[in-house]
Amino acid sequence: MIELPNKATLVSIVSPFSSGSTLVCCALPALLVALGAGAALSSLVSIFPQLIWLSLHKVPLFIVVAVVLALSGYLQWRARLEPCPTDVTLARACGNARKISLVVYVVSVLIFVVGGFFAFIAPLIL
């Protein structure tokens, strides 16, 4: 029988993918243009026209990603005090899973910040 993931697991799985969409939306096109690869960007947009839709709707995209990351951060914070099993092997696995989950969350937040910089701050500077 297949067990469905709980809400905390689901949010932890969704957060890196949602923050990655901010990179695809805003940071990748800015990087390609900054490197002088406008032709590569136009080829990429012709293959994946959804990139234009993401760029046009970047504010709602960032709001949704911020909510997902905030929820994931809250669940991370709340789970920090939950006990691990008393079995040594399971306790070690529990501790490792918490560390990995925290690293994934921090990387997701960093990706979100980089995407936000390229979406909202870099256009004002240039």
Taken as a whole, the chain contains a residue count of: 126
Q: What is the pLDDT of residue 3?
A: 54
For 99-123, the pLDDT digits (tens) are: 888 888 898 898 889 888 888 888 8
Cα–Cα distance for residue pair 43/61, rounded to 1 Å? 23
pLDDT tens for residues 12-49? 677 777 878 877 787 788 778 878 888 888 888 888 88
Q: What is the pLDDT of residue 6?
A: 62
Q: What does residue 45 show for φ and ψ, rounded to 5 degrees? A: -70, -35
Provide the phi-psi class of 87: left if phi over 0, else alpha when psi is between -120 and 50, else beta: beta
Q: Is the predicted pLDDT of residue 8 greater than 70, yes or no?
A: no
**60 band by pLDDT with thresholds 50, 70 and 90:** very high
| Cα–Cα distance measured from residue 99 to residue 91, given in angstroms and rounded to the nearest whole number | 12
The whole model's pTM is what?
Answer: 0.79
All structural domains of the chain with their residue ranges: 9-125
Ramachandran angles phi, psi of 83, nearest 5°: -70, 150
The pLDDT tens digits of the residues spanning 79-103 come to 888 888 888 998 898 888 888 888 8
CB 82 within 8 A of CB 18: no
Alpha-carbon distance of 96 to 93, in angstroms, equals 5
